[in-house]
Amino acid sequence: MGVGSSSHAAAKARRGGSREQIVEAAQHLFLRHGFGAVSMDQLAEAAGVARRTLYNQFASKEEIFREMLLRVSAQLEDAFPTGIETQGDVEHVLRLIAGVILDLHKKPGYLGFLRMVVADSRQFPWIAKEFAAVMDPMTERLIRYVAHLNAMGILACRNPTLAAHQFMGMLNQFSLWPWMMGRRGRIPVPADDIVEETLRIFLGHYRRPQAGKGQSSSPADRKPNQSPLSTA
């Protein structure tokens, strides 16, 4: 590798480092002071970069927010891989999904971003709109899965949208909302207990009675063979 190539690689690495520093500083300042109260000069100072470097990386605070949103989107895509709903019967799949949701709630960056959106979306409605564009498809995947189970006779729920939100709500109550309200202590009960009791309550209410003892109401309950979460 020549000197020119080495210099180019080093410069690229420095730019990448600056970009990371800026996003991390923005997340801290936006959460602490609010999106509207933070200036680009304050961001540059907090990130430890020159003002010129900041503008070379991001043209505006809005662009920094969208970079943060892209990272949240990537976290969600990693957490909910395509085909997760084909990994077993309904109980196993819902257990996987519940575990994914609780794992997301353990990520300080993810939770900090949520708090920022809640705090600033009233003054800046576009923040809520763009955040919803990332989050809603994930919720819709779960709704489609519940609707699929309903159509296959595995569940019996009049409103799959309501049922899906009830499932998420039970998980959020223990691990998301306490943190959002500033209570950063440990979850008062083990995560495994939260998952298992959520499944027990949800399936106890919505699971269609079995056709016979030890027999599932549908073969699809034993081995799903399609991917309703990933379809439009």
* Residues in CB range of 197: below 8 A, 6 or more apart: 170
Quick check: 228 pLDDT over 90? Answer: no
| All domains of the chain in start order, with CATH | 1-59 (1.10.10.60), 69-230 (1.10.357.10)
- Given a cut of 80, is residue 121 above it in pLDDT? yes
Taking residues 39-67, report their average pLDDT.
93
Report the distance separating Cα 92 and Cα 44, nearest Å. 47
Write down the number of H helices and E strands in the chain.
11, 0
Instruction: Using a cut of 0.85, tell me whether the model's pTM lies above it.
Output: no
Reference 127, options 23, 4, 230, 30; nearest CA is 30
Residue 85 CA to residue 145 CA, distance in Å, equals 7
Give the pLDDT band (50/70/90) at residue 162.
very high
Distances (CA, A) of 66 to 31, 71, 131, 201: 15, 9, 9, 38
Give the tokens for residue 107: 């990520």
Contact 82, 174 (CB under 8 A): no
